Amino acid sequence: MIKVLYPDWLTRELRTDHAGETGAVWIYRGILTVSVNNSVRTFARRHLETELKHLNKIESLLSLKHRSWLLPVWRTAGFFTGAIPALCGPNMTFYTIEAVETFVSQHYQNQLDSLQPIVEHNPELVIVRSVLSECQFDEIAHRDEAAQRVQNAPGAIIRLWCFLVSGGSQAAVTLARQI
């Protein structure tokens, strides 16, 4: 597919999406490396498949030269964001996914809000909007599914971990906009 040249801000935003979907793939790989819980593994396998599709869709929009230079960092960070809670059990794993997907759905919403006023005059952006909104639709489902699967109220450690995961996601987005 021929890659369209986007305005600079949109290229940067798509780079954050590409970094994020890469991280998401590796979160589920991290979970699958560590978890021995069947329901967690089935959940992670199914979500991994969806995240690979998201990654493919974003890759179809963003040329190689515009992707983040820090992809090895995003893969490693994703792996541990999945593996660490998976070591601690299903409850922490599902809370982590809920935190990540809450962040990601809002991130896509912010981008969709920015695109909305300009898409009418830039028909080449219609495909971008539809990819972002398809991804967001799945992330919301992932978030809600994880939220339904938690068993107990989160303790202090899980709350602190999820706080770090959300802050880390925000920091990753800020960095991926630049490099």
Contact residues toward Fe ion (CB under 5 A) are 21, 24, 51, 54, 139, 142
Residue burial 136-154, b: 16+ Cβ < 10 Å; e: rest: bebbbebbebbeebbeeeb
Going by C-alpha positions, the residue among 142, 137, 141 that lies closest to residue 112 is 137
Q: Report the distance separating Cα 124 and Cα 45, nearest Å.
A: 34
Residue whose tokens read 């987005």: 173
Q: How far is the CB of 141 from Fe ion (least distance, A)?
A: 8
Please tell me the distance from the alpha carbon of residue 131 to that of residue 143, in angstroms, as a whole number.
Answer: 18
CA distances from 19 to 36, 41, 112 (A): 28, 24, 18
In the complex, least distance from residue 119 CB atom to Fe ion, rounded to whole angstroms? 21
Q: Which is nearer to Fe ion, 61 or 152 (CB)?
A: 61
| Minimum CB distance to Fe ion smaller for 21 or for 98 | 21
Nearer Cβ to Fe ion, position 122 or 133? 133
Residue 51 vs 98, nearer CB to Fe ion: 51
- Name the token pair of 5: 């040249």
Q: How far is the CB of 121 from Fe ion (least distance, A)?
A: 28
Q: Cβ 9 to Fe ion, closest distance in Å?
A: 21
How far the first Cα of the chain sits from its last, in Å, is 24
| Residue 47 CB, nearest approach to Fe ion (Å) | 6
CB 151 within 8 A of CB 91: yes
Q: Which residue is nearest to Fe ion (CB)?
A: 54
Nearer to Fe ion, 5 or 45 (CB): 45
Contact 128, 37 (CB under 8 A): no
Cβ closer to Fe ion: 148 or 152? 148
Least CB distance to Fe ion at residue 111 (A): 13
Distance CA 131, CA 137 (A): 10
